[in-house]
C-alpha cells in the first residue's frame, strides 16, 4: 500500500502532499520535512530507494523517489509494493501530467495544484494503484473539465453579471466629460446596491 | 463595495511574491480572514474558490480546520465544480479522527446512487481514502451495487473501494467475495487490476477464501499468458512491456495461491518459466516483472530447475550496472537466504563487493545480507570483510555492523583466541557503538579461557596504552589488568611480542584512566577495583602508592561492592569505610523526619548495596562547583562552636545541590569526636562525604569541613535536619535540629 505521495522542490517547499493514512497536520508537515531531509542528501547516481524516516514508519517502509529538474516525486510505500513497479508508476504519473499540461514544469504544479490532485486521484486511490493507462486518464480528465466549464459557462452567467455591476464604482464616473467643445453633463445615476 | 475575492492563482502569485517567511504568513493570514468572512456570509457562488485557496495554504502548513463545514456544504451542492473541491477538501481535512467526518456519509450515499459517473467517482474516491469503519458498514451495499454497473470507470473504483472497506471491516468480505469470479472475466485492465488486488486482500484475510480462489489459478495463468505473448499494444504498454502493473499483480496473486500447494504450483510452472526467459530486461518495466517472477518461483513449490534459474537471474542482477537493480536483487536474496541458503551462498563474493558501495541504501542491504551469510566455514573471511567495512561505514550503520560481527563471532568462532581478537578489534574500532553486554561477555570469555589469560592481558594492555577513550575497551582492559596483572609483569608470552612492562607504568596507566575526563563513572569503578586488586597481587612497595590514592575514593569509592567486601579488612584504616557505620545512625535520624516526610525509609545514599541512586549522583560531574552565589547560613552556635553552611548549585546540573558544612571553634577548648549527620525528606537523595577530620581545634584553628551532595529532581522545597555529636569542655554533647531559613535558591 502507498502511504503517502509527496512532491516538493529542491528547497523542500511542498508542491503536493497526499496522505493515505490519517496523520495530524503537524505530523504531516514533519513528515514532509523529514522526507526532504533524507532525499536531498542523496547523490545523483545512487539508487532511488531509501529506508523510510521514523515518522513514516521506519525501516518497514520505503521511500521511492525520482528527481526531475527542480522537483522530487516521492512515494512512501510499505513492503508489499514492488519497488521497480512504483518507479514505473512515478514515470507514468509524470508523463500523464505532461500530457495534461503540455510540457509540464514546476509552475504548472504550483498554480494548478487542485488539477494535479484530480489527475493523481485517477491513478492512485485509497493507497492502491487504480489505473495506469495514460490515455484513459487523460480522456476522463478532459471530460470532467468540460463538465466544469459547462457549469461555469451557463449557470455562472447571471451571477457574474451581478457581481460585475456590483463592483462598478459609480461615484468615480466623471461628472463632466469634456472632449474638445463637446460638453456632456452626466446625470446622477442611482447607485446600485 | 464588494472586493472581488482573489482567484486561487492570484493568491498563489501573492504568496510567491512574499520575500520572507513573515511576509508570507502575513499574506496568508490576511487571506484567511477574508475566507473566514466569506464562509460566514455564506456566499455559495465562490465557496469552491475560497475552499480551494484554503486547501492550498493547508498544504503549506497553515491551519485550515475552519473549512471543514464548508466541505460538507460543497459536497451537498448539485454542481460538479463544487463537489469536486468539496470532496478534495474532505480527503484533506476530514479524516476519521475529526468530529465532522461522519456527516459526509449521507452525501456520499446520495452521490453513489445518482447516475453521473464523475460524481460517483468522486464519492468512491473519498470513501476509499478516508472512509471510517462505520461509514464502510453503512455504504457497503451501495458499493456492491456499483460493482456490476456498466460504466468501467465507476466499476474499477468500486472494486478498489471494496478493498478499503474490507480492510476497515473484515466481515464485509462476505459481500465482496462472490462478485470476484465474474469480475475476473473483464477485459478492462483497470477493473482487472482492482479485482486482483481485491482477491489478494480476501485471501490474506481468510484461509477459506484462499482455498476458494485456488480455482481461478488457470484463469490467471491464461490472462498473464495473453499479456505476455500478445504483440505490442499501445494502450497499456510501458517501455514496450504490456501493462507491467497488471503482470506484477497477477504474479503476486499467483505467489499467494501457489504457496504450499503442489497442484497450483504445477499449473503455473510453465508460464513462470516462459516469463522468466522471455521478458525484455533492457528497461525497468521488464525488470519489475522479472523480479516478481523470481520471487514467485522461490515462494511456491516450483520445480528444482526453475528455482536454480531464479537464483541465477538474481545473481546476474547483482552484477548489473543499474543500482536500482542491484538494490532489488539484494533485497530479494535477503528474502530467500533462510530457505535457499546454499544457493544464495554462491553469490557471497558479489554481495561482499556491494559492501564497498558508496550508496548508503545499497551498503545497508549488503550488510544485512552479509551478516545472514556468515557460517562456520566462511566466518574468518567474512569477519575480515565486515571489520574493514566497520572502519569506514556511515555512522548509522556502525551499531548494526558491530553487533552483527559480535553475534557472528559468538556463534561461529573457530577458536577462543580468534574470538577474543575479534571482539578486541570491534571494541577498538567502534567501541562506542557496541551494546552494553559486550563488556560482560568479553570478561566472561576471557575469564573462562585460562590458557589465554596472559595473551589477553598483554593485548588489552597494549590497546589501553594506545587509547583510553573507548569506554567498553577501557573497562575490559582495566578488569583484565586487575585480574591478571601478575601475568602481565611476568615477562614473555609466546603469542605476542615480548613486552617489558613495569609496575609503575601499569599503575600510571590506571591512574590516567581514573583521572581522564572521558572516563565514565563505571569505568572509574573498574579502574579503582583493578588498583585494589593489584595491591594484593603485585609485590613490592605498593601499599604506600595505593594509599596515596585514597582521596580519590571520595568520588568513586563506595560504588564497587565487590571491592568493599574483599578489601574492607585491609583498608579499614582508610576513610573509605566511614560511610558504613553511618548507615544505622542515619536510620535513627530519619525517624526524626518521619512526622514530616512520611514512612521511614532507609537512607538512599550510603546504603550497603550500591543502588542506582549512587550512580545517579556520581553521574554528575565532580568538577569544582562554579560560583552560584547563594548566601551562607550559620545554622548552629554553642559555646564557641559554630556551624556554617555554604551552598553551591553547579550550573550544568539543576537538580544538584552541594552543601559544605564548616565547623569552627572559637572557644578555648578543642572539640573532639565531632560527627555531623544529616537527613532530608524522602524525595531527595543525600550523600555525605567523609569529613576532613573529627577535631575542631580551639581558638579558631583549622575548621572541619564536610561535603553534602543533595539531589532534588522534583525541585521540592528543601528541608534539612542535622545531628551533631561531640565532646567539648569535658562533656559529650548531642544536638539535633532542623535548619531553618534555607534560601530558596537551594532548591528552586
The pLDDT of residue A163: 57
Q: Which residue of A has its CA nearest to B55?
A: A114
Please return the burial class of B281, using the count of CB atoms within 10 Å of its CB with bins 0-12, 13-18 and 19+: middle
Q: Residue A193 — pLDDT band, cuts 50, 70, 90?
A: very low
ipTM exceeds 0.90, yes or no? no
- Nearest in space to B387 (alpha carbons), one of B428, B415, B357, B349: B428
User: Which of B13-19's residues contact partners 24+ apart within 8 Å by CB, and which partners?
Assistant: B15/B57, B15/B60, B16/A110
Average pLDDT on B403-412 reads: 88
Whole-number pLDDT of residue B710: 87
Nearest CA in chain B to A85: B288
* CA dihedral sign, ordered A142, A146, A152, A153: positive
**Among A44, A42, A33, A43, which residue's Cα sits nearest to residue A11?**
A33
Distance CA(B688)–CA(B708), nearest Å, equals 5
- Taking CB atoms and an 8 Å cut-off, how many pairs form between chains A and B? 162
pLDDT beyond 90 at B522: no
Q: Identify from A125, A157, A192 which residue to disrupt to test chain B contact, counting B C-beta atoms within 10 A and taking the largest count.
A: A125
Q: Where does the pLDDT of residue B291 fall: very low under 50, low under 70, confident under 90, or very high at 90 and above?
A: very high
pLDDT(B466) > 60? yes
Cell of B50: 475560497
**pLDDT band at residue A189 under the 50/70/90 scheme:** low
pLDDT digits (tens, 9 = 90+) for B27-37: 999 999 989 98
Residue B40 in this model has a pLDDT that exceeds 80 = yes
Q: What is the mean pLDDT of residues A156-161?
A: 60
- What's the mean per-residue pLDDT of chain B? 81
Mark yes or no for CB contact B327/A47 under 8 Å: yes
Whether residue A82 and residue B2 make contact (CB cut-off 8 A), yes or no, is no
Assign A29 a pLDDT band (cuts: 50, 70, 90): very high
From chain A residues 115-134, the ones with a CB under 8 A of any chain B CB are 117-118, 121, 125-133
**Range with the largest mean pLDDT of A71-80, B573-582, B621-630:** A71-80
> Above 50 in pLDDT, residue B199?
yes
**B4: pLDDT confidence band, cut at 50, 70 and 90?**
low
The CATH code for residues B633-746 is 2.60.40.1230
C-alpha to C-alpha distances, B309 to B271, B277, B332, B369, B412, nearest whole angstrom = 14, 9, 14, 20, 31
Query: Could you read off the pLDDT of B73-86 as tens digits, one per residue?
Result: 999 998 899 999 99
Rounded Cα–Cα distance for residues B716 and B735 (Å): 26
User: Which residues in chain B have their CB less than 8 angstroms from residue A141's CB?
Assistant: none
Mean pLDDT of the B184-197 span: 91
8 A C-beta contact, residue B700 and residue B568: no
Q: Identify the pLDDT of residue B608.
A: 38
* Residue A111 C-alpha, separation from nearest chain B C-alpha, in angstroms: 6
Mean pLDDT for A6-30 is 91
> Measured between alpha carbons, how far is B617 from B594 in angstroms, rounded to an integer?
24
pLDDT one-digit tens code per residue, B115-127: 788 999 999 999 9
- Alpha-carbon gap, residue B109 to B123, rounded angstroms: 8
Percent of chain B whose pLDDT exceeds 70: 85
User: Residue B232: its pLDDT value, please?
Assistant: 59
Mean pLDDT, rounded, for A126-136: 92
What are the pLDDT digits (tens) for B133-183? Answer: 999 999 999 999 999 888 889 999 999 999 999 999 999 999 999 999 889
Q: Which residues pair with B685 in a beta bridge?
A: B711
Domain boundaries, chain A: 2-150
Is the pLDDT confidence value at B67 over 60? yes
Q: pLDDT-derived band of residue A155, with 50, 70 and 90 as boundaries?
A: low
Structural contact between residues A56 and A34, judged by C-beta atoms closer than 8 angstroms = yes
* Distance of residue A39 Cα from the nearest chain B Cα, in angstroms: 12
Q: Are B276 and B237 in contact (CB under 8 A)?
A: no
State mean pLDDT over B261-280.
88
> Residue A121 has what pLDDT?
94
Model pLDDT, residue B327: 92
Pick the more confident residue, A126 or B682.
A126
Of B120, B109, B115, B65, give the one whose Cα is nearest residue B90.
B65
Residue B441 has pLDDT above 90, yes or no: no
Cβ distance A130 to B1 less than 8 Å, yes or no, reads: no
Mapping DSSP onto H, E and C, the string for B560-586 reads CHHHHHHHHHHHCCCHHHHHHHHHHHH
Identity of the residue in B8, B81, B326 whose CB atom sits nearest the CB atom of A151:
B81
Q: Which chain A positions have a beta carbon within 8 Å of B235's beta carbon? A: 133, 135
| pLDDT tens digits for range B646-672 | 888 887 777 888 889 999 988 888 888
Residues on chain B touching A50 (C-beta within 8 angstroms): 361
- A86-95, A104-113, B502-511, B591-600 — which is least confidently predicted? B591-600
Residue B524 confidence (pLDDT): 87
How far apart are the CA of A186 and the nearest CA of chain B, in angstroms? 22
Nearest to B342 by CA among B386, B303, B317, B373: B373
Q: Is the pLDDT of residue A162 over 70?
A: no
- Helices B47-59 and B80-93: angle between axes, nearest 10 degrees: 30
Write the Ramachandran bin of A102: left for phi over 0, alpha for psi from -120 to 50, otherwise beta: left
Alpha-carbon separation of residue B62 from A31, B47, B54 (angstroms): 15, 19, 9
pLDDT > 90 fraction of chain B, expressed in percent and rounded? 23
Average confidence (pLDDT) over B371-391: 90
- Restricting to A residues 6-35, those with a Cβ less than 8 Å away from any Cβ of B are 13-14, 16-18, 20, 22, 24-25, 29
Please report the residues numbered 160 through 179 in chain A whose beta carbons come closer than 8 angstroms to any beta carbon of chain B.
163, 166-167, 169
Nearest Cα residue in chain B from A123: B190
CA gap B393, B587 in Å, rounded: 55
Residue B251: closest CA among chain A residues belongs to which residue? A82
| Architecture label for domain A2-150 | 2-Layer Sandwich (3.30)
State residue B396's pLDDT score. 82
Taken as a whole, chain B contains a residue count of 748
Q: Which of B7, B129, B279, B397 is best to mutate for the A interface (most A CBs within 10 A)?
A: B129
Q: Determine whether the interchain pair B326/A126 forms a contact, defined as Cβ–Cβ distance below 8 Å.
A: no
Alpha helices in B336-452 (DSSP H): 341-345, 348-354, 360-373, 379-392, 395-412, 416-430, 437-448
What is the rounded distance in angstroms from the CA atom of residue B526 to the CA atom of residue B560? 8
Average pLDDT of chain A is 84
**Contact yes or no for A74/A35 (Cβ under 8 A):** yes
CB–CB of B193 and A132 under 8 A? yes
Any CB–CB contact under 8 A between A106 and chain B?
no
Cross-chain residue pair B1–A144, CB shorter than 8 Å:
no
Indicate the pairing of strand A71-77 with strand B237-238: unpaired
Q: Taking residues B588-611, what's their average pLDDT?
A: 41
User: Has residue B556 got a pLDDT over 50?
Assistant: no
Contacts of B252 in chain A (CB under 8 A): 82
Cβ-defined contact of A147 to B361 (cutoff 8 Å): no
Percentages of chain A per state (helix, strand, coil), in multiples of 5: 45, 20, 30
Coil vs helix vs strand at B217? helix
Report which DSSP code applies to B738.
E
Q: Which residues sit opposite B711 in a β-bridge?
A: B656, B685
Q: Taking residues B300-309, what's their average pLDDT?
A: 86
B190 part of contact set with chain A, CB < 8 Å? yes
User: Are A84 and B287 in contact (CB < 8 Å)?
Assistant: yes
Query: Looking at residues A143-150, what average pLDDT do you find?
Result: 88
Rounded Cα distance, B485 and B530, in Å: 9
Q: Which three cell numbers stand for residue B267?
A: 499449473
For chain B, the structural domain boundaries read: 405-543, 633-746
Residues 6 or more apart from B522 whose CB is under 8 A from it? B471, B475, B615
Comparing CB atoms, the residue among A13, A84, A130 nearest residue B328 is: A84
- Whether residue B585 is predicted with pLDDT greater than 80 in this model: the reply is no
In this prediction, residue A172 carries a pLDDT of 54
From chain A, the residues in CB contact with B129 under 8 A are 20, 125-127
pLDDT recorded at residue B292? 92
Model confidence band, residue B304 (pLDDT cutoffs 50, 70, 90): confident
Q: Is residue B98 very low, low, confident or very high in pLDDT (cuts 50, 70, 90)?
A: confident
Q: Are strands B721-728 and B671-679 parallel, antiparallel or unpaired?
A: antiparallel
pLDDT score at B170: 92
Confidence of residue B578 (pLDDT cuts 50, 70, 90): very low
> Do B80 and A159 make contact, defined as CB atoms within 8 angstroms?
no
Amino acid at each position: 500500500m502507498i502511504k503517502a505521495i509527496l512532491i516538493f522542490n529542491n528547497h523542500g517547499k511542498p508542491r503536493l502532499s497526499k496522505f493515505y493514512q490519517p496523520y495530524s497536520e503537524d505530523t504531516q508537515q514533519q513528515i514532509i520535512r523529514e522526507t526532504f531531509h533524507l532525499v536531498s542528501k542523496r547523490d545523483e547516481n545512487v539508487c532511488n530507494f531509501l529506508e523510510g524516516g521514523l515518522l513514516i514508519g521506519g525501516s518497514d517502509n520505503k521511500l521511492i523517489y525520482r528527481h526531475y529538474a527542480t522537483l522530487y516525486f516521492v512515494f512512501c510505500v510499505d513492503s508489499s509494493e514492488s519497488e521497480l513497479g512504483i518507479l514505473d508508476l512515478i514515470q507514468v504519473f509524470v508523463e500523464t501530467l505532461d500530457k495534461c499540461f503540455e510540457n509540464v514544469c514546476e509552475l504548472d504544479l504550483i498554480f494548478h495544484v487542485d488539477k494535479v490532485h484530480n489527475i493523481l486521484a485517477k491513478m492512485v486511490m485509497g493507497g492502491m494503484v487504480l489505473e495506469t493507462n495514460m490515455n484513459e486518464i487523460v480522456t476522463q480528465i478532459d471530460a470532467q473539465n468540460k463538465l466544469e466549464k459547462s457549469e461555469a459557462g451557463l449557470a455562472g452567467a447571471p451571477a457574474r453579471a451581478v457581481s460585475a455591476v456590483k463592483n462598478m464604482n459609480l461615484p468615480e464616473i466623471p461628472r463632466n466629460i469634456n472632449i474638445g467643445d463637446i460638453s456632456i453633463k452626466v446625470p446622477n445615476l442611482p447607485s446600485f446596491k | 463595495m464588494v472586493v472581488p475575492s482573489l482567484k486561487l492563482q492570484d493568491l498563489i502569485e501573492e504568496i510567491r511574491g512574499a520575500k520572507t517567511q513573515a511576509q508570507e504568513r502575513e499574506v496568508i493570514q490576511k487571506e484567511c480572514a477574508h475566507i473566514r468572512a466569506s464562509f460566514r456570509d455564506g456566499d455559495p457562488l465562490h465557496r469552491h474558490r475560497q475552499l480551494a485557496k484554503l486547501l492550498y495554504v493547508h498544504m503549506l502548513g497553515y491551519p485550515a480546520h475552519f473549512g471543514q463545514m464548508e466541505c460538507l456544504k460543497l459536497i451537498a451542492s448539485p454542481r460538479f465544480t463544487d463537489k469536486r473541491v468539496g470532496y478534495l477538501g474532505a480527503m484533506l481535512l476530514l479524516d476519521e479522527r475529526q468530529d465532522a467526518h461522519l456527516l459526509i456519509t449521507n452525501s456520499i450515499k446520495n452521490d453513489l446512487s445518482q447516475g453521473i459517473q464523475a460524481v460517483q467517482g468522486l464519492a468512491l474516491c473519498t470513501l476509499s481514502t478516508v472512509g471510517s469503519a462505520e461509514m464502510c458498514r453503512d455504504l457497503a451495499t451501495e458499493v456492491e451495487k456499483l460493482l456490476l454497473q456498466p460504466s468501467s470507470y465507476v466499476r474499477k473504483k468500486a472494486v478498489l473501494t471494496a478493498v478499503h472497506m474490507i480492510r476497515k471491516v473484515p466481515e464485509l468480505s462476505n459481500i465482496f467475495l462472490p462478485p470476484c469470479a465474474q469480475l475476473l472475466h473483464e477485459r478492462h485492465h483497470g477493473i482487472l487490476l482492482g479485482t486482483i488486488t481485491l482477491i489478494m486482500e480476501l485471501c490474506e484475510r481468510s484461509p477459506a477464501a484462499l482455498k476458494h480462489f485456488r480455482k481461478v489459478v488457470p484463469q490467471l495463468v491464461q490472462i498473464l499468458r495473453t499479456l505476455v505473448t500478445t504483440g505490442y499494444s499501445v494502450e497499456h504498454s510501458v517501455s514496450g512491456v504490456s501493462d507491467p502493473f497488471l503482470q506484477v499483480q497477477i504474479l503476486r496473486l499467483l505467489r499467494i495461491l501457489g504457496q504450499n500447494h503442489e497442484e497450483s504450483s504445477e499449473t503455473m510452472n510453465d508460464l513462470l518459466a516462459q516469463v522468466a526467459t522471455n521478458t525484455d530486461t533492457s528497461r525497468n518495466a521488464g525488470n519489475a516483472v522479472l523480479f516478481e517472477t523470481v520471487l514467485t518461483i522461490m515462494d511456491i513449490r516450483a520445480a528444482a530447475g526453475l528455482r536454480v534459474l531464479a537464483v541465477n537471474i538474481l545473481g546476474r542482477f547483482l552484477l548489473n550496472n543499474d543500482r536500482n537493480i542491484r538494490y532489488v536483487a539484494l533485497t530479494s536474496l535477503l528474502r530467500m537466504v533462510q530457505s535457499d541458503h546454499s544457493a544464495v551462498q554462491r553469490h557471497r563474493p558479489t554481495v561482499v563487493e556491494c559492501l564497498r558501495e558508496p550508496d548508503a541504501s545499497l551498503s545497508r542491504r549488503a550488510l544485512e545480507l552479509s551478516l545472514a551469510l556468515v557460517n562456520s566455514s566462511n566466518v574468518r573471511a567474512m569477519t575480515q570483510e565486515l571489520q574493514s567495512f566497520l572502519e569506514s561505514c556511515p555512522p548509522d550503520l556502525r551499531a548494526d555492523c558491530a553487533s552483527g560481527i559480535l553475534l557472528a563471532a559468538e556463534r561461529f568462532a573457530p577458536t577462543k583466541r580468534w574470538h577474543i581478537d575479534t571482539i578486541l578489534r570491534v571494541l577498538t574500532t567502534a567501541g562506542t557503538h557496541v551494546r552494553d553486554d559486550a563488556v560482560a561477555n568479553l570478561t566472561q570469555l576471557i575469564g573462562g579461557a585460562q590458557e589465554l589469560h596472559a595473551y589477553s592481558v598483554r593485548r588489552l594492555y597494549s590497546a589501553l596504552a594506545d587509547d583510553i577513550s573507548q569506554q567498553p575497551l577501557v573497562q575490559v582492559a582495566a578488569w583484565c589488568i586487575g585480574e591478571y596483572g601478575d601475568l602481565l609483569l611476568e615477562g614473555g608470552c609466546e603469542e605476542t611480542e615480548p613486552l617489558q612492562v613495569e609496575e609503575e607504568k601499569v599503575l600510571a596507566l590506571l591512574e590516567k584512566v581514573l583521572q581522564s575526563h572521558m572516563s565514565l563513572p563505571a569505568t572509574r569503578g573498574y579502574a579503582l577495583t583493578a588498583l585494589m586488586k593489584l595491591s594484593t597481587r603485585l609485590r613490592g612497595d605498593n601499599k604506600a602508592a595505593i594509599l596515596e590514592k585514597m582521596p580519590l575514593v571520595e568520588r568513586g569509592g563506595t560504588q564497587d561492592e565487590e571491592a568493599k567486601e574483599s578489601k574492607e579488612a585491609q583498608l579499614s584504616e582508610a576513610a573509605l569505610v566511614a560511610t558504613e557505620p553511618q548507615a544505622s545512625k542515619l536510620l535513627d535520624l530519619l525517624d526524626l523526619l518521619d512526622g514530616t516526610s512520611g514512612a521511614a525509609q532507609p537512607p538512599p545514599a550510603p546504603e550497603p548495596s550500591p543502588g542506582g541512586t549512587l550512580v545517579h549522583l556520581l553521574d554528575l560531574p565532580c568538577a569544582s562547583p562554579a560560583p552560584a552565589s547563594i548566601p551562607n547560613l550559620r545554622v548552629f552556635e554553642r559555646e564557641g562552636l559554630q556551624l556554617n553552611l555554604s551552598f553551591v548549585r553547579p550550573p550544568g546540573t539543576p537538580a544538584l545541590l552541594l552543601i559544605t558544612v564548616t565547623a569552627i571553634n572559637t572557644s578555648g577548648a578543642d572539640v573532639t569526636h565531632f560527627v555531623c549527620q544529616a537527613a532530608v525528606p524522602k524525595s531527595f537523595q543525600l550523600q555525605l562525604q567523609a569529613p576532613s577530620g573529627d577535631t575542631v581545634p580551639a581558638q579558631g584553628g583549622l575548621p572541619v569541613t564536610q561535603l553534602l551532595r543533595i539531589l532534588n529532581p522534583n525541585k521540592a522545597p528543601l528541608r534539612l535536619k542535622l545531628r551533631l555529636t561531640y565532646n567539648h569542655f569535658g562533656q559529650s554533647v548531642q544536638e539535633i535540629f532542623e535548619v531553618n531559613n534555607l534560601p530558596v535558591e537551594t532548591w528552586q
